[in-house]
Homo-oligomer: A and B are copies of this chain.
Amino acid sequence: MEIMIDVDQVANLAQVSRATVSRAFTRPDLVNAKTRERVLEIANQLGYQPNQLASALRRGQSQSIGLIISDVLNPGNAMLVKGVQDAAAKRDYTVFMFNTDEDSDKERKALESLRSHMPQGLIIMPTAGAQENLSLVGNLPVIELDRASGIKGAHTVMVDNTGGSRIAVQHLTKLGHKRIGMVAGSLDISTAVERHAGYQQALAEAGIPYQANLVQIGNHREDGGRLAAQNLLSRPASERPTALFVGNNEMTIGAIFAARDLGLRIPEDLSIVGFDDSRWAKLLQPSITVVAQPAYELAYLACETLLDRLERGRTQKPIQIRLATNFIQRFSTAAPIEEEREKKKEKR
């Protein structure tokens, strides 16, 4: 990399000034067609590429954006990363990625670090403390991805969590389930709140009273889901939920393990619906019914929206996009056993 060649070298060989070389790249219309060709030809031969750092410094535009995500290890988030990267690459932007691991402090550090790189915009999946942290970035254009920080007037690109959850739980009520448990995420995260709301709506619609003790909060990870599900499933059969709606992919794994630990068969003894699709949901036997999110599209769209905004200038109204979720019925749900018995009685 010590062999970097700069404008001057190209300029010398092409017998023009530094300025002309620069313009040949950035304002082709301003330079004579012949000279431009000559310059580009020589630049190409030498393998010249404008130094982004210098260019960004001078223009005050870095041609890069920041991406702050909670954890790449979650396959759903990896999708988000990919979507953003692809959209950015398509328009020749570079992305700086940081992981917060759901930790507000790491988020603040990431923002500080990011700031000194002069990104032109930011896509963030905010942690619970984002509201405060985001003041650090001044008036940098920000798009909140997947969740909302709660900042008023923020631009957001999210899925319809409430609607998705509602359909999932409707599916369960239609099967005849009356005691439907939920393993919810921590309620300081907007997605968790919305999914919980969808659960409540579907219950209400089915005329089933909401029982707070059927909702357990997990920590968004496998162990949290397992604990929460254990709590719900180890109750005596008459109080035990016959179906479980789980608020994200990792916790669904925990819930499945909990069911297995207790010897509950899926779907005979317990119906399960999870939020987020995944490799294993398709692969398991029985495969798991889920609310799938268009994660890639979501992220791609968020990035495009951000870049549009950067290039077309500020918009007056906050952008707030919601993408629909996709309910995928597989084989982890069935009518509850009591229900079966009642049907048999009726037939006689």
Beta-carbon contacts of A239-278 to B below 8 Å, as 1s and 0s? 0000000000000010010000000000000000000001
- Which stretch (A91-99, A166-174, A194-202) binds chain B? A91-99
Q: Min CB distance, A121 to chain B, in Å?
A: 9
Main secondary structure of the interface of A (DSSP, over half): mixed
Report the Cα distance A73→B116, complex, angstroms: 29
Is there an interface contact between A283 and B78, defined as CB atoms closer than 8 Å? no
Q: Is B97 a contact of A85 with CB atoms below 8 Å?
A: yes
Q: Of the candidates B1, B98, B283, which one forms a contact with A284 in the assembled complex, judged by CB atoms under 8 Å apart?
A: B283
In the complex, whether A279 has a CB less than 8 A from a CB of chain B is: yes
Residues of B within 8 A of A89 (CB): 98, 109
Total interface residues on A, CB under 8 Å, equals 53
A211 near B: Cβ within 8 Å?
A: no
- Interfacial chain B residues near A62, Cβ < 8 Å: 53
Collect the chain B residues with CB atoms within 8 Å of residue A82's CB. 71-73, 99
**Residues in B neighbouring A139, C-beta threshold 8 A:** 1-3
Stretch from A28-36, A44-52, A229-237, A335-343 that touches the partner: A44-52
What separation, in Å, do the CA atoms of A117 and B97 have in the docked complex? 15
Contact present for A113 and B85 (CB under 8 Å): no
- Tell me the bound Cα distance from A47 to B137 in angstroms: 11
With contact pairs A72-B72, A116-B51 given, residues A97 and B99 touching in the complex (Cβ less than 8 Å): no
Of A50, A94, A99, A112, which is in contact with the most chain B CB atoms at under 10 Å from its CB?
A: A94
Is there a chain B Cβ closer than 8 Å to A138's Cβ?
A: yes
- Is A212's CB within 8 Å of the partner chain B? no
A53 — which chain B residues lie within 8 A by C-beta? 53, 56-57, 62, 116-118
A279 to B149 CA separation, bound complex (whole angstroms): 30
The answer to whether A52 touches B117, judged by C-beta atoms less than 8 angstroms apart, is yes
Interface residues of A in 3-56 (CB under 8 A from B): 3-4, 47, 49-54, 56
Please encode chain A, from 97 to 134, with 1 for each CB lying within 8 Å of some chain B CB and 0 for all others: 11100000000010011011111000000000000000
Interface residues, chain A, CB within 8 Å of chain B?
1-4, 47, 49-54, 56-57, 62, 71-73, 75, 78-79, 81-82, 85-86, 89, 92, 94-99, 109, 112-113, 115-119, 136-140, 253, 256, 278-280, 283-285
List 9 contacting pairs A-B, 8 Å CB cutoff, sorted by A: A2-B139, A51-B118, A53-B117, A72-B85, A73-B79, A75-B78, A94-B113, A279-B280, A280-B284
